[in-house]
Chain A
């Protein structure tokens, strides 16, 4: 009959109107789900004993197509290389993941950090201190599974 389709449609929309469940997320209060292979800002992986997995080999610096990563190392007694300074200039980062792919010690990963705004340019240079000083730093044996191993 003429018009039954409209009534059916009105019924559907009314049911959607009275349902509580929403498809959208109230962003700052609720966080969206980031999948395990999400490519956020690159960050170091910290083992459960609190130590970083990085040995300072510098392969990530060479792998980076834009020269985003900057690293300075020094030699400690006992022929141990210490990373003194490590920074990622996030405004120039492509999020390509080549640093993650290149790292032989799986010491760097693409984190789920996607809120990358800052008030100054210096806020956008992520240094070692940013990760070390982070309150909710995660300790994991393995980096996030972005790269097939």
Chain B
């Protein structure tokens, strides 16, 4: 029974496969199972994004001593659904002077780059779409693609605020990519692998509690700050600063396209939280509860810190932003890599 609950999703996939293969050729079975898994995943992702939006509004409201949305459904849980219906019912406007191809394509670039990151995220044992042996590198590279989407949106809109936001986005994402990668290197050095599954397995020592956060506290702090900046979340939301450039790169988008931007933003943020849980908090490892539940709990807990920071900190200035990346985070990350190397050398010297 425990086995069934813990491995529910791999077992379900195997069951569907066995049923279908009795009367269909194997390549059709493969296609059908892939389509089913992807649809289930996209449904899951949509629900996750809706819950994240709801929690964000409630938590920010609590921090600001307000009540937050509590009318639509019990305690307002249906509020995101109402928002989505509203956005889908709205008119889809393309500005007259916009570049229509770039304008329309940018939403898809954003959403696909956000969805592609989930390829390498292990939700549980066997619950990974593709266990790439360069998983972490792949995730970091794909996250960097969002800058392209933002630039396309900003350029295609033919709007000065959109272009300003896109330029800021490009500068910020490229700057913070570097400390982000350096902060992950420590984890990779300890595990000796870039595969996300091996990184989780590498944290199984000490009875499943040798989480990388204990060995890499500096790495985690640098990772989290650069991830916040990379996701354009407050306090680093310079490119969509409402008070300065209105909404930045997605100023001209309305209706479904705006909904897709919103989806991509939260999917990216949740992907980074998932990656943080995998790299630093032992992924699916945890007692009693099923592994995928542990993973979701950890990812949501990390996401809560995003909410918390958003409710606490004011927006940074552009020069502060750059000096934080280049003068503080990058040296800290490099020092962390050196320290990790020395630590691993001492460990090998002692155990050998």
Instruction: Give residues in A with beta carbon < 8 Å to B.
Output: 6, 9-10, 12-14, 16-19, 21-24, 26
Contact = CB atoms under 8 A, between A and B. Distances in A.
Given A16-B62, A17-B59, A17-B62, A10 B67 contact: no
B225 to A, nearest CB: 10
B21 interface: no
Range class of the B interface residue count: 10 to 19
B63 interface: yes
B312 interface: yes
B311 to A, nearest CB: 5
B130 interface: no
Given A9-B312, A19-B65, 20 more contacts: A6-B312, A9-B313, A10-B308, A10-B309, A10-B312, A12-B312, A14-B308, A16-B63, A16-B65, A17-B59, A17-B62, A17-B308, A17-B311, A21-B65, A22-B67, A23-B65, A23-B66, A24-B65, A24-B67, A26-B70
Interface in B292-314: 308-309, 311-313
Nearest to A24: B66
A6 B65 contact: no
Interface of B: 59, 62-67, 70, 308-309, 311-313
B311 A13 contact: yes
Q: Is the interface of A mostly helix, strand, loop or mixed?
A: helix
23 contacts: A6-B312, A6-B313, A10-B309, A12-B312, A13-B63, A13-B308, A13-B311, A14-B308, A16-B62, A16-B63, A16-B65, A17-B63, A17-B308, A19-B65, A22-B65, A22-B66, A23-B65, A23-B66, A24-B65, A24-B66, A24-B67, A26-B67, A26-B70
B308 A16 contact: no
For the complex of A and B, the 6 pairs showing the least CB-CB separation, nearest first, are A23-B65, A13-B312, A17-B62, A9-B312, A17-B63, A13-B63
B264 to A, nearest CB: 27
Contacts of B64: 16
Contacts of A13: 63, 308, 311-312
Contacts of A22: 65-67
Contacts of A18: 62
Nearest to B59: A17
Contacts of A6: 312-313
Contacts of A17: 59, 62-63, 308, 311
A88 B108 CA distance: 58
A19 B61 CA distance: 12
Contacts of A26: 67, 70
User: Which residue, B67, B308, B312, B313, has most C-beta atoms of chain A within 10 A?
Assistant: B312
Contacts of A21: 65
Contacts of A16: 62-65
A22 B65 CA distance: 5
Contacts of A24: 65-67
A83 B172 CA distance: 74
B320 to A, nearest CB: 13
Contacts of B67: 22, 24, 26
